[in-house]
Amino acid sequence: MSSGDAQPRPSCGVILQNKMAAYFCPHCKIHATFKSQGPEKVNWENQLHQIWRCNNCFGVVYVRVRTEPDDLEFYPSLRSEARDEYPPEVRDNFGEALRSLNGNNPKAAVVMTRSALQAAMRQQDAKGKTLKAEIDSLADSHAIPPAIKDWAHELRDGGNLVAHPEPDKTVETQDAEELIALAESLFEYLYVVPKELERRRQRLAPQEEPPPSE
């Protein structure tokens, strides 16, 4: 085993430079460019560790870049987990969508958002052979209101664009961000609002027994 320092692979800087323009700032929450502060540091796992400064808010982030697989980790971290209120399958797929978006992979983010949507429709006992039919079945049975149905179809269309690309259309980060935001609104309605209502009712429910007096 070599005792010498690990050397950066030639691609490291290229990967970093190409990705500089495509990240969400955990401070100002927008899609911003960053400027690297100081030299790259490479550790024994052949990972880059850098400090970046947001060109919009000048907030500082610590970034770890793995060169293989090509992914990044931010501290403070970007949101990478779906909410606990979601059912497990929805949460798994949507969490992966968030992590894909963080990793600058909008296509994968859109595909996983669509998978989360499909999992949600099945969890709601939707009927039908296609996602389109499942969404319509939930609307027909009044499980979801018309506005939510339209959102769901919008998500489905976004997912279809990745699965069946059209020549003059590409999936951009903005598309993935918008679809993820739509999905969150949908899941908020289906899972978070009912749980919050339940929590509120429990809080306001009259106590069955008064606390014992001392």
Judged by CB under 5 A, does residue 63 bind Zn ion? no
Judged by CB under 5 A, does residue 28 bind Zn ion? yes
What does the block give as tokens for 56? 């919009």
Q: 74: closest CA among 102, 109, 35?
A: 102
Rounded CA-CA distance 14/204 in Å is 57
Judged by CB under 5 A, does residue 54 bind Zn ion? yes
Q: Half-sphere exposure of 202 toward its Cβ, with a 13 Å CA cutoff?
A: 6
Report in angstroms how near the CB of residue 55 gets to Zn ion at its nearest: 8
Between 8 and 59, whose beta carbon lies closer to Zn ion?
A: 59
Q: Provide CB contacts within 8 A for 191, sequence distance 6+.
A: 83, 85, 86, 87, 90
Q: In the 8-state DSSP scheme, what is residue 80?
A: -
Between 56 and 173, whose beta carbon lies closer to Zn ion?
A: 56
Judged by CB under 5 A, the chain residues 94 through 123 that form the site for Zn ion are: none
Between 24 and 151, whose beta carbon lies closer to Zn ion?
A: 24
Number of C-beta neighbours around residue 44 at 10 A? 7
- Count interface residues toward Zn ion (CB under 5 A): 8
Candidates 57, 147, 163, 197: give the one binding Zn ion (CB under 5 A). 57
Candidates 36, 46, 47, 56: give the one binding Zn ion (CB under 5 A). 56
Q: Provide CB contacts within 8 A for 198, sequence distance 6+.
A: none
Selected range binding Zn ion among 10-18, 51-59, 84-92, 117-125, rule: CB under 5 A: 51-59
User: Do the Cβ atoms of 92 and 120 come closer than 8 Å?
Assistant: no
Candidates 12, 23, 24, 25: give the one binding Zn ion (CB under 5 A). 25
Judged by CB under 5 A, does residue 149 bind Zn ion? no
Number of C-beta neighbours around residue 135 at 10 A? 26
Selected range binding Zn ion among 31-39, 68-76, 90-98, 107-115, rule: CB under 5 A: 31-39
Judged by CB under 5 A, does residue 59 bind Zn ion? yes
Amino acid at 65: V
Contact positions vs Zn ion (CB under 5 A): 25, 27-28, 32, 54, 56-57, 59
